[in-house]
């Protein structure tokens, strides 16, 4: 595994996500691409804040429709410089993909903010696993965060061949994990 020449730093989670996705195989590859998931719908989840985070820190999120989550891919098992994206087309440089296996295992996801609750947020449209550590939250601001005409490199080529938003969901529909009943 490649190493970094930069000095390490530490970050403490401000929250943890409670998600219906217990296993990587259950979660969609992207939050809005839910074909093949058990319900076929965008999942709701709950962000539970750390006890030492003051409530004033997230109070003014009410009124935002979307938020950015910066999180840790806490189940990532290392990384490689090149990965094979699920949409095909051969290996790509990891930094040109959304692979969870990254040099610093940090992810970014825009989710719908459903409600601000006491010590928690309800969100919809997650592709994160249960227990995911949340490092930071930022409001989604359309005039600054949306660039619909931006080029998307090799993804534009795949879109032209397969259709826009053709990103796959899980390879086959998932069923709930078998319960350990009597």
Q: Residue ranges of the alpha helices (H) in 98-176?
A: 142-145, 153-162
- Containing 69, the helix (H) or strand (E) segment is strand 66-72
Q: What is the pLDDT of residues 166-181, one digit of tens each?
A: 555 544 444 544 444 4
Q: Is the pLDDT of residue 163 over 90?
A: no
SS3 for 155? helix
Of 13, 69, 21, the closest CA to residue 42 belongs to 21
Q: Is the pLDDT of residue 30 over 60?
A: no
Q: Could you tell me how many helices (H) and strands (E) the chain has, helices first?
A: 2, 8
SS3 for 78? coil
């Amino acid at each position: 595994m490649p190493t970094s020449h930069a000095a390490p730093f530490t970050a403490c989670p401000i929250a943890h996500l409670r998600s219906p996705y217990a296993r990587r195989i259950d979660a969609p590859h992207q939050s809005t691409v839910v074909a093949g998931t058990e319900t076929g719908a965008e999942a709701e989840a709950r962000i539970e804040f750390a006890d030492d985070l003051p409530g004033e820190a997230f109070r003014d999120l009410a009124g935002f429709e979307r938020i950015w989550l910066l999180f840790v891919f806490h189940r990532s098992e290392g990384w490689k410089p090149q990965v094979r994206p699920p949409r095909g087309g051969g290996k790509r440089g990891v930094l040109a993909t959304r692979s969870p296996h990254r040099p610093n295992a940090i992810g970014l996801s825009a989710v719908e903010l459903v409600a601000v609750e006491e010590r928690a947020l309800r969100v919809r449209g997650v592709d994160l696993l249960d227990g995911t550590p949340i490092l930071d939250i930022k409001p989604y601001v359309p005039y600054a965060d949306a660039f619909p005409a931006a080029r998307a490199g090799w993804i534009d080529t795949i879109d032209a061949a397969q259709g826009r938003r053709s990103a796959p969901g899980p390879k086959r529909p998932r069923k709930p994990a078998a319960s350990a009943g009597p």
